[in-house]
Amino acid sequence: MLGQRSFDELGTPLFDVTFVVLDLETTGATPKSCEITEIGAVKYRAGELLGTFQTLVNPGAPIPPTITVLTGITQAMVVDAPKVEEALPSLLEFIGGAVIVGHNIRFDMSFLNAAAQRLGYGRLPNRTSDTVALARRLVRTEVRNLRLSSLARHFRSPTKPNHRALEDARATAHVFFQLLERAGGVGATYLEDLLRLPTAKGQPHYDKINLTDRLPRRPGVYLFHDLDDNVIYVGKAKNLRERVRSYFYGDKRRNVTTMLRNLARVDHRVCPTELEAEITELRLIHAMAPRYNRKSRPPKTTHWLKLTKDRYPRLSIVRAYKEDGAAYLGPFRSKRHAETVMTAIWDAVPIRRCTNSRKGRSVACNYSQLGLAMCPCDGDIDESAYTEVVRTVRNGIATDPELLLAPLVERMRERATQERFEEAAAARDRYQALAGALERRRNWQTLQAAGRLWAEAPNGDGAFVDQGRLVSTWLGGDRPPLFNVSGRNELDPTQVPTSVALQEEAHLIWRWLTRTGVRVMDSRAPLVSPSNPVPKLEALAG
């Protein structure tokens, strides 16, 4: 017979725990090459505010423009700020033995531990609690996503997160204490229970875990069926058994509880390699459109961006791709994404924007009057100059992406210098959207030109590809007979994919082909990327 647990075994009541809610701003994503620029922290015990800590930190290196755009912290602001070796001792004294809380706390702790170890303090021994993990467990079905801004809005935080350390720490503290109330409702009233809560078992539908008993520990695709045997979710896994069982250990996705309530049967398909599993998942989702695959389901309408073949060509968003000699970008999952790419090109070159092609109207369009575009309605358009603008767009899409991307970097740099950070951020987003569209177009054309090919990874895993479509894969040592890659292709090459499914499959294949050590063993034609690669934002901005 088990006796009652002692108070020591129960753990520390939450009202006796001191929490320090922490947020850092940094110059980048990794402490190996980036530094802290700002520290903000608030200390609580039993819900009472005990103290506040805030300081800018001189990183000892230039702050990238993209970080300034995100946080608003400029180089001038940190020139006279203390360096991390001056700020860290005070912060460690402020934290003491408290439990450190943060939103994605692993990120903040990686920078703190790196600095502490470099300065001889060693890794911080404090226990940590992550509001992302708690929110995933407690409120995942109530919120659109787990970003701090979304959670703060959901819990009506009086402090709005703004990528500044102290304000974000205060917003995180509000979210944390709201989550503590929810945790208390499921019995987590002690610190030890709270720290275990994100990975605790005991889901409402945990009894259905026996549906996973026959799943193998191999790569593949799993399919969830409802009582009517409809497929309601498709996923991929390196280890089918472990991945599917993980759904019963905690909320990993939005609406998992509802999905598990409807779950009646689990089917699976073993795949030789992870690449085949990824592509099988993609094909099944596009074929079946399961209702819980919300982000990856095929779009209802597909859009392309087209450079028309008028006397004065312009950019147009269309719903069908045609082999008509026009230049295309896409396909895009949404019209909004296509509009972002179109606006990026508008920002880069003064190509016609209005739809009126009649030259010499009595009143020019607004774009022409503001000097944003060369439009025929102006009446004074120089046809040779306009031809050069169109040539720039064509060449930027087809051969030299820097023609379109470099002006966007300059625009971003100018707006940041003028402290118009929202406009600079918009230019950055447009750059990334355009660069991504150009990159995928070029990768598609490279695969089309290569035709049939087979390639192998260093471990011997291989794949046979035909014009950007996967034919088969094999494990190392199980290579099938040599393929005939010299025959004629069944499909004529296209300048862009004719569907989102084809584009996403080609992207997965390209990502695998360009991994370190993967070798093309044979192909109908050389697999050669264009001589002018799509430049990274950091390369042009630097």
Token duo for residue 502: 């084809």
Residue holding tokens 């210098």?
417
Q: What is the dihedral of CA 467, 473, 476, 478, to 10 degrees?
A: -120
Residue 61's DSSP bridge partners are none
Token duo for residue 309: 């073949």
Q: Is 368 exposed, middle or buried (0-12, 13-18, 19+ CB in 10 A)?
A: buried
Residue 415 φ then ψ, to 5°? -65, -35
Closest C-alpha to 440, from 511, 348, 378, 389: 511
Q: 163, 205, 337, 507: which one is catalytic?
A: 163
Would you say the C-alpha torsion 163, 167, 172, 175 has a positive or negative sign? negative
SS3 138: helix
Q: What is the dihedral of CA 46, 50, 56, 58, to 10 degrees?
A: -90
> Would you say 462 and 473 are in contact if contact means Cβ atoms under 8 Å apart?
yes
Q: How far is CA 445 from CA 315, 450, 531, in A?
A: 21, 9, 13
> Would you say 306 and 351 are in contact if contact means Cβ atoms under 8 Å apart?
no
Q: What CA–CA distance (Å, rounded) separates 90 from 94?
A: 6
SS3 251: coil
163 is catalytic: yes
Q: What CA–CA distance (Å, rounded) separates 71 from 55?
A: 14
Q: What CA–CA distance (Å, rounded) separates 11 from 5?
A: 10
SS3 96: coil
Token duo for residue 252: 């990993």
Residue 469's DSSP bridge partners are 466
> Would you say 175 and 160 are in contact if contact means Cβ atoms under 8 Å apart?
no
Closest C-alpha to 235, from 178, 194, 294: 294
Report the half-sphere exposure of 154 (CA within 13 A, side-chain side). 20
Q: What CA–CA distance (Å, rounded) separates 94 from 188?
A: 27
Residue holding tokens 């208390």?
184
Q: Which residue type occupies 528? A: V
Closest C-alpha to 134, from 87, 78, 67, 191: 191
Catalytic center residues = 163
